[in-house]
Amino acid sequence: MADVKYAFLPTNNNSPPFQATIYMDGSGYILKVWFNIYSQRWYFSLYDFNQTIIKTAPLISSTATHDINLTFNLFTRNSLVFREDIGFILVRDIVDLLQF
């Protein structure tokens, strides 16, 4: 499976929160991204379709050479990666990344 890209450039002019339905390990989830005024940073939450929170954490951008898996230890086949430099949130297939 190729990377699935969701266009996202953090700016308060985008009318936060940003929301998208994503698929991780074959199941659907709701991804919400919002800006916290008090801490002056972006956060994300991942919900199942019953609105149960799976994870809430700061939205940390990966570099061009190293991915930061925002859902580490939650999923076995996919990772969630934010790349601010290209303006995308990515759902990456871990299996493809591990093959040499």
Domain parsing of the chain, residue ranges:
4-98
Angle at 98 between CA 30 and CA 76, to 5 degrees: 35
Q: What pLDDT shows up at residue 100?
A: 45
Question: Does 17 or 82 have the greater pLDDT score?
Answer: 82
Spatial CA neighbour of 54 closest among 35, 93, 81, 27: 27
Please tell me the distance from the alpha carbon of residue 94 to that of residue 18, in angstroms, as a whole number. 25
State mean pLDDT over 12-36. 87
Please tell me the distance from the alpha carbon of residue 17 to that of residue 75, in angstroms, as a whole number. 24
Q: Are 16 and 33 in contact (CB under 8 A)?
A: yes
Percent of the chain with pLDDT over 70: 88
Question: Does 61 or 99 have the greater pLDDT score?
Answer: 61
Q: What pLDDT shows up at residue 9?
A: 79
Spatial CA neighbour of 92 closest among 44, 82, 60: 82
